[in-house]
Amino acid sequence: MSEKIKQRIAELRELIREHDYRYYVLGEPTISDTDYDKLFAELKELEDTHPELITPDSPTQRVTDRPLEGFPQVRHAVPMMSIDNTYSPQELREFDQRITRQPGIKGCEYVVELKIDGLAISIRYSNGVFVQAATRGDGQVGDDVTANVRTIRSVPLVLRHRDHLPEVLEVRGEVYMPNKAFLELNRLREEAGEPIFANPRNAAAGSLKLLDPRITASRNLAFFAYAIGQTSRPIGKTHMEVLTRLREYGLPVNPHSELAKDIDQVIQICDKWQAKRHQLPYQIDGMVIKVNRLDYQDTLGATARAPRWCIAYKFPAERAKTVVRSIDVQVGKSGILTPVANLDPVRLAGTMVKRASLHNFEEIKRLDVRCGDTVLVEKAGEIIPQVVEVLQEFRPPDAKPFPVPTRCPECGHKVVKDEGGVYIRCSNPDCPAQLKERLRYFAGRDQMDIENLGPALIDQLVDSGMVKNIADIYYLKKEQLLSLERMAEKSATNILNAIEASKTRPLWRFIAALGIRHIGRQSAQILAEHFGDLDSIMKASQDELASVDQIGPAMAQSVYEFFRDPKNKATVRQLLAAGVRPQPALRPKARSGPLAGKTVVVTGSLKSFTRQGVLEALRTAGARPAESVSRKTDYLVVGAEPGSKLDKARALGIPILTEEQLVQMLGGKGG
């Protein structure tokens, strides 16, 4: 083990932590994402070759790939209390009067903070190292969500200024899902036919209670610290000082916390944010007002459920009144008919709203919404517009109930009702509207990622009859494309090249692209990793599928049935016949075989491997690739023009392998 490598690892970890701090806490990154990724990749590579140097606080160790068994209970050393709510400036003044009436409290300053709409969490640091995270639970006892909170990139695994930190420091704050992450997550879920989350708070809560931390890591949660729980010594005399300390320790603290010298100023700040709340990249549902002086907080104490020195000011939900001009019926990729209301444009929560999903025909009936109706719209979780109420008194006398379609609006085929009775589907397997949606999905950037195959072109291809199923796109000829309106030679070439390039996408993309019900990107990855190749997935029994970790019975059934359907089987056959070759997923590391557990060093250049390729192949075979030859080396693989490593191995009597011998031990495959 060279001292140099050890040093470089320490240096890389320090650099990555510093850049995380600049990015998440200061909001002033000084490095590009690409350069950051390079540092990360270098660290990962060194740690892979020297697993004995991996420590749990390394930035590479945020995500465990071991599924959790559950969430054991944790008793909070200091209870996590709830906060009383107020809804008007008058109530805020009453709160202030209750405080300033106390003997010994003269003129009270407050800290006013944004009330982030997320989930309260307590994170325990021991000598500056992240050791445990727990949910609020009932305030006394919460759930241990350590493995999932570790995956949140803005939560430091190691605090800064470790020499000055209290030995024990419990940090309290809010885990939340930024708007962008929420919209993206729901988009993916919708495409996979999974239920969408009603708002970012539910999405954050759901993500923290997943048994697979890898999925939690993919949810892009974030964190703001706003208080401390147990601590081995005080870190400030006022709340504002505590916030400053937390920021110095490297914790993300919301930059909008403000000091108010009296309750009038508190109300001003609340009003300001009520108007500006939609400019934030995350959801807030009000403000939190805290007495600044900690000795005053002690004097005031708490009731059984909430502290007396702190109060929440909740914003009312914003609604807007508008008129439903018409109702469109859209056909999705699985044939589901979705009614969508076209509205008179209205300003709501910071944006113009013109359309609102009515979800399904049961919902139309429940709301009794009709064309011409005046309605109230609200944003679910402040993001997705939704009709919440019909104002009957404004209904035009001739407004008729919206008829439930009996035929598909796109192809005229009969519709069928789902078993549950909520959804109505077009029953035509060749419905052009469904095919267009399926093609859009297939070519989408999270599936086959065919850049030049956009929605307008898909419409043209389907309408012209050139494409009658997904596989047909791989049989398109240039002359055909050139016969389309406004198609130039160069774009036709680009389109064909993009389609060609998609033939060798990874297996998981191919599985996701098929649009199997309940199977999104994540579950497609799990299936690809578990089964390795397409054939094994297609042949798997329902039991085999259901036995895969994270694949539920509904998913298993859906995959099984999909590949038993003659039409789907024919499409897959056609895709393969066209030369589509989904790239098999790397199988998990081998635990047996001639190289399992062996330390292997490579020197010189190899004919059938790149440097990266041979390391990958060795790891897959369960071997530990190493940099330098030592007594612990099991094999030295020698390529052309070997270096001094060969001499050293000879001197130590280490077995030497040629490239051919290595290939044999790897199971006969080059790469």
Q: Which residues bind Zn ion (CB under 5 A)?
A: 408, 410-411, 413, 426, 428, 431
Q: Which is nearer to Zn ion, 209 or 413 (CB)?
A: 413
User: The tokens 């320490």 sit on which residue?
Assistant: 10
Q: CA 524, 199, 175: angle at the middle one, nearest 5? A: 85
Residue type, 204: A
Q: Which two tokens stand for residue 111?
A: 């800290």
115 noted as active-site residue: yes
Residue 199 Cα distances to 82, 375, 447, angstroms? 21, 21, 25
As measured in angstroms, the least distance from the Cβ of 340 to Zn ion is: 16
- 303 φ/ψ angles, rounded to the nearest 5 degrees: -85, -170
CB of 425 to Zn ion, least distance (A): 9
Please, what is the minimum distance in Å from the beta carbon of residue 337 to Zn ion? 9
The string of DSSP letters for 269-296 reads: HHHHHHHHGGGSSS-EEEEEEEESBHHH
> At closest approach, how far in Å is the CB of 431 from Zn ion?
3
SS3 content of the chain, % helix, strand, coil (to 5): 40, 20, 40
Q: What is the DSSP string of 618-643?
A: HHHTT-EEESS--TT--EEEE-BS--
Spatial CA neighbour of 467 closest among 442, 489, 486, 448: 442
Nearer to Zn ion, 25 or 408 (CB): 408
If the CB atoms of residues 195 and 403 are measured against Zn ion, the closer one turns out to be 403
Q: How far is the CB of 433 from Zn ion (least distance, A)?
A: 5
Contact 426, 415 (CB under 8 A): yes
Of the pair 298, 463, the CB lying nearest Zn ion is at 463
Tell me the residue type at 485: E
Query: For residue 89, what are the CA distances in angstroms to 82, 108, 196, 270?
Result: 21, 17, 36, 9
Q: Which has the closest alpha carbon to 130: 152, 169, 157?
A: 157
Residue 234 near residue 121 (C-beta atoms within 8 A):
no
Annotated catalytic residue, options 115, 290, 379, 436:
115
At closest approach, how far in Å is the CB of 410 from Zn ion? 5
Helix and strand element counts for the chain (H, E): 24, 22
C-alpha distances in Å from residue 322, one per residue of 354, 363, 376: 10, 18, 6
Q: How far is the CB of 335 from Zn ion (least distance, A)?
A: 7
Whether residue 443 contacts residue 453, with contact meaning beta carbons closer than 8 Å, is answered with yes
Instruction: Please name which of 158, 83, 148 lies closest in space to residue 116, comparing C-alpha atoms.
Output: 83
CA distance 292 to 120: 21
> Degrees (nearest 5) of the Cα angle 512, 560, 68?
70
Query: What are residue 328's DSSP bridge partners?
Result: 340
Give the helix ranges, DSSP H, for 54-139: 89-100
- In the complex with Zn ion, the residue whose CB is nearer, 114 or 408, is 408
Q: Is 107 left (phi over 0), alpha (psi -120 to 50) or beta?
A: left
- Is the CB of 324 or the CB of 415 nearer to Zn ion? 415
426 vs 524, beta carbon nearer Zn ion:
426
Report the C-alpha gap between 284 and 278 in whole angstroms: 9
To Zn ion, the closest distance from the beta carbon of 42 in angstroms equals 53
**Smallest separation (angstroms) from Zn ion to the CB of 612:** 48
CB of 330 to Zn ion, least distance (A): 11
Distance between CA atoms of residues 657 and 637, nearest Å:
5
Encoded tokens for 167: 């030995």
Identity of the residue, 433 or 572, whose beta carbon is nearer to Zn ion in the bound complex: 433
Q: Which is nearer to Zn ion, 172 or 333 (CB)?
A: 333
Please state the closest distance from residue 443 (CB atom) to Zn ion, in A.
20
Of 234, 227, 231, 249, nearest to 169 by C-alpha is 231
Residue 211 near residue 221 (C-beta atoms within 8 A):
no
DSSP character at residue 412: -
For residues 291 and 99, is the Cβ–Cβ distance under 8 A? yes
Residue 215 identity: I
Nearer CB in complex with Zn ion: 198/411: 411
Query: In this complex, which beta carbon is closest to Zn ion, that of residue 404 or of residue 487?
Result: 404
H runs (alpha helix) in 231-368: 239-248, 263-276, 294-300, 361-367
Residues identified as active-site: 115
